[in-house]
């Protein structure tokens, strides 16, 4: 397989992603909407001046690293802040990840006679992995994180003790990686350990570069993000994204999601077939050991309570590298062509199906054809909540099409100071929800009617009915300001909490 063939395959995958972004009318949901809101707030602060930008940046998120939200600012300067503008950053990062995988393969097998063929096939397979494709069309951090991890592995694999500038490059990657996600070092731990002798001379320089860079945000937010990371991975928040089964069952479920969802069964079967055929050809070489070390985080993720499969994304290129190395291990040219063909055919078939044919609600995780449904009338609800100086609106609903995050995102894109808050993440207590209204200085309350329980994420909407009852009984004083039709049969009532 030649590099120009790989370039064509990667370009085709990026073209499919571009078409998807342009065609998709579905609104942002939860985390992507939060990243968007923060990004728009940063842009509004930038327009006021660098001091305001620095202050907004330092206080952004608290529990999530902010790099993703910073990256689209140049695009906003050109095209204006918009929910359809920011995802292009994810797509560009996906392309960069494929390029870095090509470079990583060349660094992992520097003396292999078919080094460029391994690199070309690995980059092509990375471009065809369903989870990486799906995430590249959404404004979530994993595409940027995968690109940074892939480039870091390339640099780690290519590092030489005598190269003085290597510490600067590695330090910059570590700093930006931490600003992308606190878990960044996890994905590099294995490759760094295997190359520790070559990397040791660069350690001091790398730390001197990475610590000040990461400290631009972590210095203000480290306790918050450490607590959240633990809770999301192994604690209460993570439990909301778990099946509730025991450790063995969770681990089994994770690997089923990994191979059947993130990779897809056709691509997994093709990889297993090629790998089994190649396994008889000898022991693992150094490059394959590095790729396995890159894939090692799967074992830790399988032990976590949180079973969200997108955490696996930054390690998926390691499987592409292993499959490419196996396919190019045969002495027979026909066998190599057949192995590459099986892998590429499986990946391409899944890409076509998951991009153009299968609706999102029936697709693999984070995949599916674009939706032409623009969701509910969020704009009218934002206008109603902002009328007469509304500043903080609490919404008693968490739904994929309407929630505090995507209402705040739209308000921020319009340059409004209005913010939306939920009743509290997975709130179970009506009393705690009512206290939260005061703590957040909410001056608007939004109740939504017309939805059945089956249409709602149950664990996110347990306090809604109790808050509505407190309002109707007069325990929570409020005055009805407006009713907004959101979609057929669904209506929002906006209440004023001020002076009551």
Task: Give the confidence band of 445 by pLDDT, cuts at 50, 70, 90.
Answer: very high
pLDDT at 251 over 60: yes
What is the enclosing helix (H) or strand (E) of 486?
strand 479-487
Percent of the chain with pLDDT over 90: 86
If one counts every other C-beta atom within 10 angstroms of the C-beta of residue 375, the result is 18
Task: Give the confidence band of 227 by pLDDT, cuts at 50, 70, 90.
Answer: confident
Supply the pTM of this predicted model. Answer: 0.93
| CB-CB contact of 148 with 183 (8 Å) | no
| CB-CB contact of 48 with 125 (8 Å) | no
Between vectors from CA 361 to CA 360 and to CA 363, what angle results, nearest 5°? 60
| CB-CB contact of 146 with 316 (8 Å) | yes
What distance in Å separates the CA atoms of residue 13 and residue 16, rounded to the nearest whole number? 5
Task: Give the confidence band of 455 by pLDDT, cuts at 50, 70, 90.
Answer: confident
What distance in Å separates the CA atoms of residue 178 and residue 65, rounded to the nearest whole number? 7
Q: Which positions ≥6 away from 24 have C-beta within 8 Å?
A: 137, 370, 371
Residue 415 CA to chain centroid, in angstroms?
25
Nearest of 109, 146, 164 to residue 311 by alpha carbon = 146
| CB-CB contact of 433 with 409 (8 Å) | no
Nearest of 188, 180, 218 to residue 206 by alpha carbon = 188
Handedness of CA 156, 158, 161, 167 (dihedral sign): negative
What distance in Å separates the CA atoms of residue 156 and residue 170, rounded to the nearest whole number? 8
Per-domain boundaries in the chain: 3-362, 378-496
What distance in Å separates the CA atoms of residue 32 and residue 41, rounded to the nearest whole number? 14
What does the chain come to in residues?
Answer: 500
| CB-CB contact of 481 with 387 (8 Å) | yes
In Å, what is the CA distance from 125 to each residue of 237, 326, 346, 383, 384? 33, 13, 10, 46, 48
Please write the tens of the pLDDT for every residue from 89-118: 999 999 999 999 999 999 999 999 999 999
- What are the beta bridge partners of residue 483? 493
Please write the tens of the pLDDT for every residue from 268-323: 999 999 999 998 766 789 999 999 999 999 999 998 887 899 999 999 999 999 99
Percent of the chain with pLDDT over 70: 96
In Å, what is the CA distance from 285 to each residue of 281, 292, 369? 11, 11, 40
Mean per-residue pLDDT over the chain, rounded = 93
Nearest of 64, 290, 261, 72 to residue 181 by alpha carbon = 64
Please write the tens of the pLDDT for every residue from 108-149: 999 999 999 999 999 999 999 999 999 999 999 999 999 999
What distance in Å separates the CA atoms of residue 261 and residue 315, rounded to the nearest whole number? 14
């Amino acid at each position: 397989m030649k590099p120009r063939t790989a370039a064509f395959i990667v370009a085709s995958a990026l073209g499919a992603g571009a078409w998807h972004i342009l065609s998709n009318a579905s609104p942002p949901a939860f985390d992507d909407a939060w990243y968007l809101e923060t990004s728009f707030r940063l842009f509004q602060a930038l327009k006021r001046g660098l001091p305001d930008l620095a202050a907004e940046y330092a206080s952004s998120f608290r529990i999530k690293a902010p790099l993703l939200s910073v990256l689209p600012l140049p695009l906003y300067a050109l095209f204006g802040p918009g929910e359809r503008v920011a995802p292009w950053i994810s797509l560009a990062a996906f392309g960069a990840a494929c390029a870095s995988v090509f470079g990583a393969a060349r660094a992992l097998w520097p003396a292999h006679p078919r080094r460029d063929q391994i690199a070309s096939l690995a980059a092509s397979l990375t471009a065809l992995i369903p989870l990486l494709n799906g995430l590249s069309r959404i404004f979530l951090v994993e595409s940027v994180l995968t690109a940074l991890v892939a480039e870091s592995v390339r640099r780690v694999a290519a590092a030489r003790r005598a190269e003085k500038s290597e510490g600067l490059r590695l330090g910059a990657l570590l700093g930006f990686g931490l600003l992308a996600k606190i878990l960044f070092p996890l994905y590099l731990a294995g490759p760094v350990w295997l190359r520790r002798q070559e990397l040791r001379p660069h350690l001091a320089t790398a730390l001197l570069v990475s610590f000040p860079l990461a400290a631009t945000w972590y210095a203000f937010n480290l306790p918050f993000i450490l607590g959240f990371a633990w809770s999301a991975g192994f604690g209460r928040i993570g439990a909301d994204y778990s099946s509730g089964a025991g450790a063995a069952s969770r681990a089994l479920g994770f690997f089923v999601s990994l191979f059947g969802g993130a990779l897809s069964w056709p691509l997994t079967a093709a990889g297993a077939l090629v790998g089994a055929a190649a396994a008889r050809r000898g022991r693992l070489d150094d490059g394959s050991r590095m790729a396995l070390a890159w894939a090692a985080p799967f074992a830790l993720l399988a032990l976590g309570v949180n079973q969200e499969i997108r955490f696996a994304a930054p390690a998926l290129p390691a499987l592409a590298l292993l499959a490419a190395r196996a396919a190019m291990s045969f002495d027979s040219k026909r066998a190599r062509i057949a192995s590459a063909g099986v892998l590429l055919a499986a990946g391409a078939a899944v890409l076509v199906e998951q991009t153009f044919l299968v609706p999102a609600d029936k697709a693999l995780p984070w995949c599916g054809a674009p939706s032409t449904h623009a969701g509910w009338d969020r704009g009218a609800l934002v206008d109603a909540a902002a009328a007469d100086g509304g500043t903080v609106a609490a919404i008693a609903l968490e739904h994929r099409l309407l929630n505090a995050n995507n209402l705040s995102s739209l308000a921020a894109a319009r340059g409004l100071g209005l913010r939306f808050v939920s009743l509290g993440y997975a709130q179970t207590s009506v009393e705690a929800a009512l206290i939260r209204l005061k703590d957040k200085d909410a001056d608007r309350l939004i109740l939504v009617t017309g939805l059945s329980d089956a249409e709602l994420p149950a664990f996110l909407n347990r306090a809604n009915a109790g808050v509505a009852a407190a309002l109707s009984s007069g325990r929570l004083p409020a005055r009805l300001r407006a009713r907004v039709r959101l979609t057929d049969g669904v209506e929002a009532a906006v209440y004023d909490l001020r002076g009551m």
